[in-house]
Amino acid sequence: MMDSNEIVNDAVNVQRWPTETPLFVLVLLSAIACWIFLVLSIVGLVYAGMLGIFFFVSHVAFIAHLRGSAVRIGPDQMPELYERIEYLSRRVGLKAAPTVYVMQAGGTLNALATKFFSSNFVVLFSDLIEACGDNAEARDMIIAHELGHLKAGHLKGLWFLLPGMFIPFLGSAYFRAREYTCDRYGFAVCQDRRAALVGMSILAAGGVNGPKVNLGAFANQGNDLNTTWMTLGRWLSTHPPLADRIVAVDPSLAANQNSRLGGAIGAVALLGCLVVAPLVGSFVMMPKWINAIKEANADFADTEELPHPSAVHGLSPAQIAEATRQAWSDMEQLNTVIEKYRLQTGEVPENYDVVHAAWKIFRPDSEPPVDPFDGYGYGYEKIGSSYVIWSEGPSDESDEDDLVFRPESTRPSL
């Protein structure tokens, strides 16, 4: 085995997992589309900014905790582990080793790589290092896996890619491909490949039982995942099952693994029932809904709106209070109909005639409400992608008493 003090010029040559690059392209294109939508919607950009600030502040807090409460590896702090990390960094092809911390995490067996501006960090959970014990190859594989994330550039541009990574199935598939790539880095730096695989069995069974795990039998557990629901579970996970990861780096362990085709077909069929069928149904029914609304709108246009017999002026305070409650209740019901119309057509009604027609479609059991203050239909105006509804209020001489309902507002206390 090569001495850790020896200068290494021949970095390992690791090929990315076959699906990583095409999935990265899809995630990138999706992220670009999401950012364009957020910029154009403005409101979405504000929410994205708020989430970005939250994540950034949380990350700052984590880095502060790391620097102040974890132990930084260095020449005078765990020097043997420090030298090994320097060696492994050169082996994976990094120009400089990252800053590495050992952190107590309540028994969690894990490690992670992260970034803060231009600084790279690797965090080794103390229980994982202890669990590896004297098995240097198992420890090296775990450390080199995290170094692989840095070498492969997985932490670059992460903030920009986040919208694409949140897309179900696509984002998780890209994360899994990156994990497979980094397992290749971990496996490539180890001389004793079999001993290196113990690192994964330690992640699965701990420091005492991990080295005793029969890797072939563990790999065969992957057969238990060949069902519809287990396949969906794998597709939604950001990390591949450990039973699959050991097979990915050592295919000889896959001798008794069965085909996953049955589970994949079942998962696709289930997704088709849960997602595709309702979408197809909506597209099939949408022309009928639109035509019905147009017909109802045409019928309404041929009628003349007459004053409601309840139109009165000079209401008493009690009558004004009751009429005000009725107006807010009516406008909330109108808002419900408008939102149903938006859901089906993708846009809000152009005018109150369309609102009236939509009411006939979605509320055929009742007549559209009228303003209790003047006996006519409520006021309505489309404003961009939003709208307002209003009642004339108790005074017909001033707009100051108008009751204005906006979809983002809440009903005032009365």
The per-residue pLDDT for 412 is 56
The per-residue pLDDT for 33 is 93
The per-residue pLDDT for 365 is 87
- The alpha-helical segments, DSSP class H, found in 228-303 are 228-236, 242-249, 261-271, 277-301
The per-residue pLDDT for 98 is 96
- What does the alpha-carbon distance between residue 127 and residue 138 come to, in Å, rounded to a whole number? 14
pLDDT in tens, the chain (414 residues): 344 444 455 789 999 999 999 999 999 999 999 998 888 887 777 888 888 898 899 999 999 999 999 999 999 999 999 999 999 999 999 999 999 999 998 888 999 999 999 899 999 999 999 999 889 999 999 999 999 999 999 999 888 999 999 998 999 999 999 999 999 999 999 888 888 888 889 999 998 999 999 998 999 998 889 899 999 999 999 999 999 999 998 888 887 777 888 888 988 888 888 877 777 767 676 777 677 776 666 665 554 444 443 444 567 888 888 888 999 999 999 999 999 988 888 889 999 888 988 898 888 888 899 988 888 889 999 988 899 998 888 766 556 668 888 887 655 554
Q: What six digits make up the tokens of 70?
A: 């974890």
Q: Return the C-alpha torsion angle 263, 265, 268, 272, nearest 10.
A: -130
The per-residue pLDDT for 233 is 92
The per-residue pLDDT for 218 is 92
The per-residue pLDDT for 407 is 83
The per-residue pLDDT for 290 is 72
Domain locations along the chain:
20-213, 217-283, 304-405
Q: Does the pTM of the predicted model rise above 0.75?
A: no
- What does the alpha-carbon distance between residue 109 and residue 176 come to, in Å, rounded to a whole number? 19
- CB count in 10 Å sphere of residue 337: 19
Q: Left, alpha or beta for 375 (phi > 0: left; psi -120 to 50: alpha)? A: left
Per CATH, which fold does 304-405 belong to? Glycoprotein, Type 4 Pilin (3.30.700)
The per-residue pLDDT for 214 is 92
